[in-house]
Chains A and B, each alone.
Chain A
Amino acid sequence: AQTVTQSQPEMSVQEAETVTLSCTYDTSESDYYLFWYKQPPSRQMILVIRQEAYKQQNATENRFSVNFQKAAKSFSLKISDSQLGDAAMYFCAYRTYNNNDMRFGAGTRLTVKP
């Protein structure tokens, strides 16, 4: 079974600091995509960043970057220069070529302190 685990239910970071959110997944597939989604309070969920499993280079989107360790099945999200607007629930998700449904982790609630 494909599962996604986010071991940190809550995280806190000081404004302008860096924070890393953890995600591990379990799969027997060799090709797949990994995603980080952000769900702000009472707002719509949006895609933050995605990573192709066959690409060794870690994806980067402005202040957001990932540390993808395929052998360890780990996909962490690093947020640099944290801003108040980064406060949200962050979900790690996984999707394979064979089974197109998105599997989500339980989420990590990020608080940004001014």
Chain B
Amino acid sequence: KAGVTQTPRYLIKTRGQQVTLSCSPISGHRSVSWYQQTPGQGLQFLFEYFSETQRNKGNFPGRFSGRQFSNSRSEMNVSTLELGDSALYLCASSLGTGWVQETQYFGPGTRLLVL
């Protein structure tokens, strides 16, 4: 099976712009979670989507949003970019059983630089 793919891999934006990142989960996986990874804050949970619905949400401002399509692919959007949004954004897919022990499979990430 192909792994989790994320596009684009690298992105440079300027403050005030918006950006959309894409994640394609492993075939058969219905849950997609998004994380932000920065040197200062580490890995922080953004949100999780399952069956096109947001099932769980982290503590991020409303500028961060996401959606999931019927084929389980997911996008996350960040509006009005700030310098502090520079980070590696990781997507993780899982079967979506809701079991807490369920393994998450991570993508390679999208590295966003905000200038």
Contact = CB atoms under 8 A, between A and B. Distances in A.
A106 B42 contact: yes
13 contacts: A43-B108, A45-B90, A46-B105, A47-B104, A95-B100, A97-B100, A100-B55, A101-B33, A102-B33, A102-B104, A104-B42, A104-B43, A104-B44
Interface residues of A, number: 23
Contact of B106 (A46, A97, A106): A46
A28 interface: no
Nearest to A53: B100
Contacts of A91: 42-43
Contacts of B104: 47, 102
Nearest to A96: B100
A68 to B, nearest CB: 14
Interface of A: 32-33, 37, 43-47, 50, 52, 91, 95-97, 99-107
Most chain A beta carbons < 10 A, residue from B44, B100, B103, B109: B100
Interface residues of B, number: 23
Interface in B35-50: 35, 42-45, 48
Most chain B beta carbons < 10 A, residue from A33, A102, A103: A102
Nearest to B57: A101
A94 to B, nearest CB: 10
Contact of B56 (A45, A47, A101): A101
Most chain B beta carbons < 10 A, residue from A45, A50, A104: A45
Given A44-B106, A44-B108, A101 B45 contact: yes
Given A44-B106, A104-B42, 18 more contacts: A32-B100, A33-B101, A43-B108, A44-B107, A46-B106, A47-B103, A50-B101, A50-B103, A52-B101, A97-B100, A100-B48, A100-B55, A101-B33, A101-B48, A102-B33, A104-B35, A104-B43, A107-B42
